[in-house]
Amino acid sequence: MDTFIVAARPEDVPALVRSAAALFREDGGRRDPRLDVGWPERDGSAYYDGMVTGPDTLALLVRLGGPDGPVAGHLTGQLRAPDELRPDAVVAVLVSMRVAEELRGKGVGAKLVGRFLDWARERGANEASVSAYAANTGALRFYEARGFQPHEVTLTTAV
């Protein structure tokens, strides 16, 4: 089935929330015992509405069969302005991305990331970043294959 990458519209927020909720369950729910996997469906609508309508945000949907077909994934991103610690860094942050399991390995994720990087360049970003769980080796390989390299590592311990 053909896939289409489209910009999310305000009326798409419920579908974006469902895709984000699936990501929370599939990824964070397996790797972070403290993650509130119910947050997207319970409280995420306003956040994702902002991702769709904000001036420095991006929300893309993967649709099956046509530009209005069923949603099979998403990508959200935002632009961060330079700050006093990194005054020359205009960073595009890939906040979240999910591709339905049956579409993985078929180039859909690569298309999403390509669109994100194009969007970042168009807005003057000179750096892009993404975070992934260290245990999600598939995601790490995927992002590294697209030019992302480790920059910082966060280590945690129970207290």
The CATH code belonging to domain 3-139 is 3.40.630.30
Per domain, the residue ranges of the chain are 3-139
What pLDDT, on a 0 to 100 scale, did the predictor assign at position 1? Answer: 76
Pairing relationship of beta strands 91-99 and 127-130 according to DSSP bridges: parallel
Dump the DSSP string for 80-129. Answer: E---SSSTT--EEEEEEEEE-GGGTTTTHHHHHHHHHHHHHHHTT-SEEE
- pTM for the full model? 0.95
What pLDDT, on a 0 to 100 scale, did the predictor assign at position 47? Answer: 98
Q: What is the CA radius of gyration of the chain?
A: 16
Report CA-CA distances (Å) from 118 to 25, 47, 96, 126.
Answer: 29, 23, 17, 11
Is residue 64 within a helix (H) or strand (E), and if so which, with residue range? strand 57-64
All residue ranges of the chain with pLDDT < 50 are none
Pairing relationship of beta strands 91-99 and 71-80 according to DSSP bridges: antiparallel
State which amino acid sits at residue 127.
E
Whole-angstrom Cα distance, residue 117 to residue 112? 9
What pLDDT, on a 0 to 100 scale, did the predictor assign at position 57? Answer: 98
**Could you report the per-residue pLDDT of 37-60, keeping only the tens digit for each?**
999 999 999 999 999 999 999 999
Structure tokens at 110: 């690569």
